[in-house]
Amino acid sequence: MKKTLYCKLTGGREDDEIFQKAAAVIQAGGLVAFPTETVYGLGADAFNARAAKEIYAAKGRPSDNPLIVHICRQEDLQKAASEVCEKAKLLTEAFWPGPLTVILPKNAAIPASTTGGLHTVAVRMPQHPAALSLIAASKTLIAAPSANTSGRPSTTNAMHVKEDLDGKIDMILDGGAVQIGLESTIVDLTEEIPVILRPGFITKEMLEAVVGPVRTDPALVKENEAPKAPGMKYRHYAPKAPLYLVSGTAEAVTEKINALCRQAKAEGKKTAVIADDGSCGRYAADVVVSAGSREDGRSIASGLYDILRGFDRDGADVIYSECFEDNELGQAIMNRLLKAAGHRVLQA
The one of ligand AMP, Mg ion, none whose footprint includes residue 115, by CB under 5 to 8 A per kind, is ligand AMP
120-124 and 68-70 strand pairing = parallel
**DSSP conformational letter for 146:** B
Does 146 contact Mg ion by CB under 5 A? yes
Residues 88 to 117 in contact with ligand AMP, rule: CB under 6 A:
103, 115
Does 232 contact ligand AMP by CB under 6 A? yes
Q: Please identify which residue in 92, 120, 140, 157 interacts with ligand AMP, judged by CB under 6 A.
A: 120
Residues 185 to 224 in contact with ligand AMP, rule: CB under 6 A:
186, 197-198
Q: 3-state DSSP: the chain helix, strand, coil percent, rounded to 5?
A: 35, 20, 45
Region near ligand AMP per CB under 6 A, out of 230-238, 242-250, 252-260, 315-323: 230-238
φ/ψ of residue 196, rounded to 5: -80, 120
Residues 34 to 93 in contact with ligand AMP, rule: CB under 6 A:
65-66, 68
185-188 and 100-105 strand pairing = parallel
Does 146 contact ligand AMP by CB under 6 A? yes
**Rounded to 5°, angle at Cα 213 from 211 and 217:** 115
Region near ligand AMP per CB under 6 A, out of 43-51, 228-236, 249-257, 260-268: 228-236
Q: Which is nearer to ligand AMP, 39 or 211 (CB)?
A: 39
Give the number of residues in contact with Mg ion, rule: CB under 5 A: 1
Q: Which is nearer to ligand AMP, 273 or 334 (CB)?
A: 334
Q: What length is written for the chain? A: 348
Does 229 contact ligand AMP by CB under 6 A? yes
Question: 343, 225 in Cβ contact below 8 A?
Answer: no
Quote the least distance from Cβ 109 to ligand AMP, whole Å: 15
Does 231 contact ligand AMP by CB under 6 A? yes
Question: 175, 128 in Cβ contact below 8 A?
Answer: yes
d(CA 271, CA 319): 6
Quote the least distance from Cβ 170 to ligand AMP, whole Å: 19
d(CA 334, CA 322): 10
Of 87, 154, 156, 92, nearest in space to 123 by CA: 92
Exposure of 225 in the CB half-sphere (CA atoms within 13 A): 11
Quote the least distance from Cβ 155 to ligand AMP, whole Å: 10
Does 184 contact Mg ion by CB under 5 A? no
The one of Mg ion, ligand AMP, none whose footprint includes residue 258, by CB under 5 to 8 A per kind, is none
Of 55, 50, 99, 96, nearest in space to 77 by CA: 96
Exposure of 189 in the CB half-sphere (CA atoms within 13 A): 27
List interacting residues with Mg ion (CB under 5 A): 146
List interacting residues with ligand AMP (CB under 6 A): 65-66, 68, 103, 115, 118, 120-122, 145-146, 183, 186, 197-198, 228-232
